[in-house]
């Protein structure tokens, strides 16, 4: 007895196309049952989501740009457009700049035409074992991040982060 006969049936009884269709339907049903009843994935993901308060320092910007940041609103990561939080507060300090004196020496001094802005944001972060992300954007202390608001677009560095309980569960 041959494996396939002249009509494409296995051992002369089952059509191979019908067998493939039945196997696809069985596997799709098994996947659906596992997804529906096997694990509660939504609760697992929600358990890893925590409120995050963090600060981005934006150095050497014009006072008008700092005023635009003070208007608040949502902040979006520049490259992806993902929302990275809501501006809660903006603290402004005169910026330190390096300038060259007439003698050729470098001096660090405060300037009146540039400021440093400390932008405090509130967000919901997904806390993983080795990474913290806000809408897919990795947030780490010291990381450079470009972000935009309705009124301004700036680059800064993540300076501080606060997670309830230190990020543990």
Per-residue pLDDT of the chain (169 residues; tens, 9 = 90+): 566 666 667 666 777 777 888 899 999 999 888 877 766 555 555 557 889 999 999 999 999 999 999 998 999 999 999 999 999 999 999 998 888 888 889 988 888 889 999 999 999 998 887 889 999 999 999 999 999 999 999 999 999 999 876 644 4
Same domain as 143, residue 124? yes
- Where in the sequence is the domain holding 65, given as residue range(s)? 48-167
Q: Which residues make Cβ contacts (< 8 Å) with residue 97, sequence separation at least 6? A: 60, 108, 109, 110, 111, 114
In a domain, 4, yes or no: no
Same domain as 69, residue 33? no
Same domain as 114, residue 34? no
Same domain as 86, residue 144? yes
């Amino acid at each position: 007895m041959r494996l396939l006969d002249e009509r494409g049936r296995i051992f002369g009884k089952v059509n191979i196309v019908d067998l493939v269709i039945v196997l696809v339907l069985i596997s799709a049903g098994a996947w659906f049952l596992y997804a529906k009843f096997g694990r509660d994935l939504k609760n697992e993901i929600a358990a890893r989501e925590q409120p995050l308060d963090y600060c981005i320092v934006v150095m050497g910007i014009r006072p008008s740009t700092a005023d635009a940041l003070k208007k608040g609103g949502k902040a979006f990561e520049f490259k992806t457009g993902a929302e990275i939080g809501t501006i809660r507060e903006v603290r402004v300090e005169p910026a330190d700049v390096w300038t060259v004196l007439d003698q050729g020496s470098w001096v660090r001094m405060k300037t009146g035409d540039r400021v440093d802005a400390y932008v405090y944001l509130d967000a919901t972060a997904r806390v993983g074992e080795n990474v913290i992300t806000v809408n897919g954007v990795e947030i780490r202390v010291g990381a450079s991040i470009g972000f935009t608001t309705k009124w301004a677009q700036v680059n800064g560095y993540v300076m501080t982060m606060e997670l309830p309980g230190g990020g543990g569960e």
